[in-house]
Amino acid sequence: MVKAVVAGASGGIGQLSPLVDELALYDVVNTPGVATDLSHISSTAKVTGYLPKDDGGKIAFKDADIIVIPAGIPRKPGMTRDDLFNINAGIVKGLIEIAAEVAPKAYILVISNPVNSTVPIAAEVLKAKGVFNPQRLFGVTTLDIVRAETFVAEIAGKKTGSELTVPVIGGHSGETIVPLFSKVSPSVTIPDDKYDALVNRVQFGGDEVVKAKDGAGSATLSMAFAGYRFAEKVLRAAKGEKGLVEPSFVYLKGIPGGEEIAKATGLEFFSVPVELGPNGAEKATNPLTGITEKEKSLVDVAVQGLKTNIEKGISFAHNPP
């Protein structure tokens, strides 16, 4: 039996339906309606909705196997993801506190932005509660990979991005997002005159959506696709399927193979391809070996931005306002 929780379930992203036995939806508004709607889908999952009253959070999270967190405000045009920090940091902290108390063994998938800071906050909260398992905490960066696959496919003349594996590493905002086109599989040739624009489109794909939505929020449908893809892989791996690898923003030191990436970048958190298994992130692969000079420069810029974002998250967790 697999119990899944979506916290922030009434928002644009939260309305996805993982392949699970029990799906508990938690939000500060509207979960009864969303739960009733989802319960009419002919799947095996029993769907329930909870609000904060009567300890709804604790009941929803209790003994969950996987908790997906897309709770918090999205961007409007002109905002950076970091501009969401003041509101979303506290929301994520509060939700992780509940998870630490009633579902300490759950795989936790953080979608709420700024991911570069909310994941360090989550790690610090779990550490403080004595239940931090780095192999089970994931910052969801799959949308960057989905975008990179789509945009590379367009340039490489492939029918669909799903024919490609495009590693994207680093973080999840602007220049902290580093696509590694030299490591695309099967390999593709990106013409020199298209390289910079392609990198830019992957790094600022989120802004493209925010601009097009013109005040109505940020990516929700493509994120639901990406969130589902990642959550489903985590669950399939938990059930014993082998060979499932996806980049994710993780705490490097607690994952086999992660230590050398932490040393190379000087960072505790970085998005790297992780092999998934019953323990969560079973192994981190060093994506920095064999990259091109251009990619090295992108990584250097990403590391600088990430350092600030990570420190901001850690410091918030220790000294909340």
**Which residues are paired to 179 by β-bridges?**
168
Flag whether 27 is marked binding.
Answer: yes
Which residue, 75 or 183, is less far from ligand LMR as judged by CB? 75
88 is in an annotated binding site: yes
The interface region with ligand NAD, picked from 72-80, 156-164, 188-196, 250-258 by CB under 6 A, is 72-80
Q: 69, 91 in Cβ contact below 8 A?
A: no
Nearest approach, Cβ of residue 227 and ligand LMR (Å)? 11
Q: Which amino acid is at 71?
A: A
Q: Is 172 a catalytic residue?
A: yes
How far apart, in Å, do the first and last CA atoms of the chain sit?
Answer: 40
User: Are residues 88 and 113 in contact, defined by beta-carbon separation less than 8 angstroms?
Assistant: yes
**What span, in angstroms and rounded, lies between the C-alpha atoms of 66 and 255?**
19
Non-local (6+) Cβ contacts of 6 within 8 A are 14, 16, 18, 23, 24, 25, 26, 67, 68, 70
Closest approach of Cβ 272 to ligand LMR, in Å? Answer: 18
State yes or no: residue 81 binds ligand LMR (CB under 6 A). Answer: yes
Which residues have C-beta within 8 Å of that of residue 157, sequence separation ≥ 6? none
Listed in order, strand segments (DSSP E) in the chain are 3-7, 22-26, 46-50, 66-69, 107-110, 137-139, 168-170, 177-179, 245-251, 269-277, 280-284
Print the binding letters for residues 118-157 with ligand LMR: x by CB under 6 A, - otherwise: -------------------------x--------------
Residue 12 annotated as lining a ligand binding site: yes
* Burial grade of 76 (CB within 10 A; 0-12, 13-18, 19 or more): middle
Q: 181-220 mask for ligand NAD (x: CB under 6 A)?
A: ------------------------------------xxxx
**Site residues for ligand LMR, window 203-262 (CB under 6 A)?**
206, 209-210, 218-219
The conformational region for residue 198 under phi > 0 = left, psi -120 to 50 = alpha, else beta, is alpha
Residue window 131-150: x/- pattern of binding to ligand NAD, with contact defined by CB under 6 A: ---------x--x-------
162 in a labelled binding site = no
String of contacts with ligand NAD for each residue 84-103, x by CB under 6 A: x---x--x--xx--------
- Asked if 223 touches ligand NAD (CB under 6 A), the answer is yes
Cβ distance to ligand NAD smaller for residue 88 or 156: 88
The residues, any chain, with a CB within 8 Å of residue 277's CB and separated by 6 or more, are 237, 238, 242, 244
Catalytic residue IDs: 172
In the complex, which residues of this chain contact ligand NAD (CB under 6 A)?
A: 7-8, 10-14, 26-29, 70-75, 84, 88, 91, 94-95, 111-113, 115, 140, 143, 172, 217-220, 223
Q: Which residue numbers belong to the known binding site for substrate?
A: 75, 81, 113, 147
In the complex, which residues of this chain contact ligand LMR (CB under 6 A)?
A: 74-75, 81, 113, 143, 206, 209-210, 218-219
